Amino acid sequence: MYLLKLVFKNIFRHKLRSLLTLFGLVVAILAFGLMQTVVNAWYAGSDMASAQRLVTRNAVSLVFPLPIYYRDRIKAIDGVTAVTVSNWFGGIYKDMTPANFFAQFAVDQDNFFDLYPEFKVNRDELLAFRKDRRGVMVGRLLADQHGFKVGDAIALKGTIYPGTWDFVVRGIYEPKDETTITRQLYFHWDYLNEQIRKLYPRRAEQVGVFIVQIADGSRAAEVSQNVDREFRNSLAETLTETEKAFQLSFIAQTETIVMAVRVVSFVVIVIIFAVVANTMAMTARERLAEYATLKALGFGPGFVAALIVGESLMITALGGALGILASFPAAAGFKAAMGSFFPVFKVAPETVAMQAASALAVGVLAGILPAARAARVKIVDGLRYIG
């Protein structure tokens, strides 16, 4: 207890230096936490993927569609329990500003939500959606962001599919938990196909991907191979992969950015380590005479070393705790500023643990060298030292 009191008093003997070091620690731990949260948010879509869902797409590229009749052939494969369709629409809501961008998919209205139990849907709203060919289901996050309510009309300007497309909100689906992304809009694939058949007959009866539900997630590789074997040497060969692998394929396109953010987050910790190490080195050098006096009074080298390491740990503990506490409101503010770009942006327990571990590591490493030097100093040399 006496040692702790002495350490605490020593921290603020040089107030300005200590406060600047603390401020630097808070900023570094906060920045580290936010950057790690950005990385986690980037992978949020893949984290919610189910092991019992596969995605079948064109083997050449995702931009090439697949014939709709593949659905029945996939459904007949052993291990498959259900198949639904999903087609990227890419319409523009109001204008092309990032704040108004959200994902839109044409899906099989009869069974799409059956394959996604993480979307909680009101049964009456789902029934109304299925009955209305122009009906849409919007996620809670999307509804809150744009103020959509059941019965509202939504007009989207087509890009891939030209023209103005008018829809009516028939339901709002809720997330199962806070990790579920609900910023998408879903409408009838039949409605999309009807309009395409009128305007572009050759583009009709085609879908972007098939979502395949399987009975046993451990058979994902086997079922994927069987699906692809079914369409081998056809005009449109397929590539089937787990939903998580499908999501990660998009993230891989920006992997360099994600890696850069991750590297920078650790560089920040290295920089603050250098700052704290310099602070502790200056502190120990100024107090060599005091440490020599303690030794002359009978205190051992271990006590002197504990004073320095303890001071380093206490500084980093205070800075780390303040940085961790500041991470939560900062993350909330960042999410609000980014709109729907990061639908899931929350400081995870793993991130907090990494922040705490980083602060601890900085405290220990920054105090070791000055502590070792002070512990080895001779009493006579220490008393003669003028800092």
Same domain, 31 and 68: no
Distance CA 50, CA 186 (A): 19
**CA-to-CA distance for 208 and 87, rounded, in angstroms?**
5
Q: Are 203 and 305 members of one domain?
A: no
What radius of gyration do the chain's Cα atoms show?
30
Q: Is residue 241 part of a domain?
A: no
242 near 54, Cβ under 8 Å?
yes
213 lies in the same domain as 77:
yes
* Same domain? 92 vs 160: yes
User: Are residue 308 and residue 199 in the same domain, yes or no?
Assistant: no
Last residue of a domain, one of 188, 203, 236: 236
Which tens digits make up the pLDDT trace of 5-52?
Answer: 766 666 777 778 778 888 888 999 989 988 888 877 776 665 566 778
E strand segments, the chain: 53-58, 66-67, 80-88, 104-107, 119-120, 135-139, 153-158, 163-175, 185-188, 206-207, 209-214, 238-242
In a domain? residue 176: yes
Alpha carbon of 365 to those of 22, 165, 277, 279, 280: distances in Å?
A: 16, 62, 8, 12, 10
The reply to whether 275 and 328 lie within a common domain is: yes
Q: Identify the domain boundary among 210, 236, 262.
A: 236
Same structural domain for residues 199 and 338?
A: no
Is residue 52 one of the residues assigned to a domain? no
Q: In a 3-state reduction of DSSP, which class is residue 157?
A: strand
Separation between Cα atoms, residue 53 and residue 84, nearest integer Å: 11
**Cα 370 from Cα 314, distance rounded (Å):** 15
Is 157 a domain residue?
yes
User: Does residue 40 sit in the same domain as residue 64?
Assistant: no
User: Structurally, how many domains does the chain consist of?
Assistant: 2
- Whether residue 370 is predicted with pLDDT greater than 90 in this model: the reply is no
213 or 162, which is more confident: 213
Task: Indicate whether 9 belongs to any domain.
Answer: yes
Examine residue 295 and state whether it is found in any structural domain, yes or no. Answer: yes
pLDDT in tens, 311-360: 888 888 888 899 999 988 888 887 777 666 666 778 888 889 999 999 88
Does residue 172 sit in the same domain as residue 72?
A: yes
| pLDDT at residue 347, rounded to an integer | 83
Domain containing 229 equals: 60-236
Residues 215 and 191 placed together within one structural domain of the fold: yes
Instruction: Report DSSP state, residue 64.
Output: S
Domain co-membership, 212 together with 321:
no
Q: d(Cα 287, Cα 301) in Å, to the nearest integer? A: 14
Structural domain contains residue 49: no
3-state helix, strand, coil in the chain (%, to 5): 60, 15, 25
The pLDDT confidence band at residue 244, using thresholds 50, 70 and 90, is confident
Q: What is the DSSP track for 85-138?
A: EEEE---BSSSS-GGG---EEEE-TTTGGGG-TTEE--HHHHHHHHH-TTEEEE
Q: Is residue 70 part of a domain?
A: yes
Q: Are residues 92 and 7 in the same domain?
A: no
DSSP string, 323-372: HHHHHHHHHHHHHHHHTTSSS-----HHHHHHHHHHHHHHHHHHHHHHHH
Name the more confident of 371 and 112.
112
